């Protein structure tokens, strides 16, 4: 019984060590992207007088997703080209499809 407890503890410590830095990088990239998106949205709405719905959809969301993809690809989850499962173009398309799917589901629930 004690042996199983030690095994679980060592496994958790190993996972924490392995995924800790990536999780921190992910949070930094996501937090920076959120701040960036909010700044773009505020700037478009307040200074350029773009209607909120247009500035939110057309610019802030699109610009934020481009920044998020770039941050995730080149900062948070950096892999060598030979280890990547898909090309950058394919990863970009998958990222946008997942984002658009989530947006569609969220919009469906809210309407």
- Mean pLDDT to the nearest integer, 38-44: 88
User: Residue 83 is part of which domain span?
Assistant: 21-110
% of the chain residues with pLDDT over 90:
2
Q: Is residue 26 part of a domain?
A: yes
10 domain-assigned: no
pLDDT tens-digit readout, 50-99: 888 777 776 667 888 888 888 888 877 776 666 667 788 888 888 889 98
Average pLDDT over residues 20-37: 78
Average pLDDT of the chain is: 77
pTM over 0.75: no
53, part of any domain: yes
Q: How many structural domains are present in the chain?
A: 1
Angstrom distance (rounded) from CA 24 to CA 91: 22
Q: Is residue 98 part of a domain?
A: yes
Residue 73 CA to residue 107 CA, distance in Å, equals: 27
Q: Are 76 and 26 in contact (CB under 8 A)?
A: yes
């Amino acid at each position: 019984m004690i042996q199983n407890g030690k095994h679980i503890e060592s496994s958790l410590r190993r996972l924490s060590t392995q995924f800790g830095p990536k999780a921190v990088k992910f949070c930094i990239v996501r937090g920076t992207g959120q701040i960036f998106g909010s700044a773009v949205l505020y700037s478009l709405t307040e200074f350029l007088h773009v209607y909120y719905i247009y500035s939110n959809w057309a610019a802030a969301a699109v610009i934020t997703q481009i920044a998020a993809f770039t941050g995730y690809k080149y900062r948070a989850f950096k892999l060598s080209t030979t280890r990547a499962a898909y090309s950058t173009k394919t990863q970009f398309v998958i990222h946008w499809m997942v984002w658009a799917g989530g947006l569609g589901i969220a919009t469906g629930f809210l309407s």
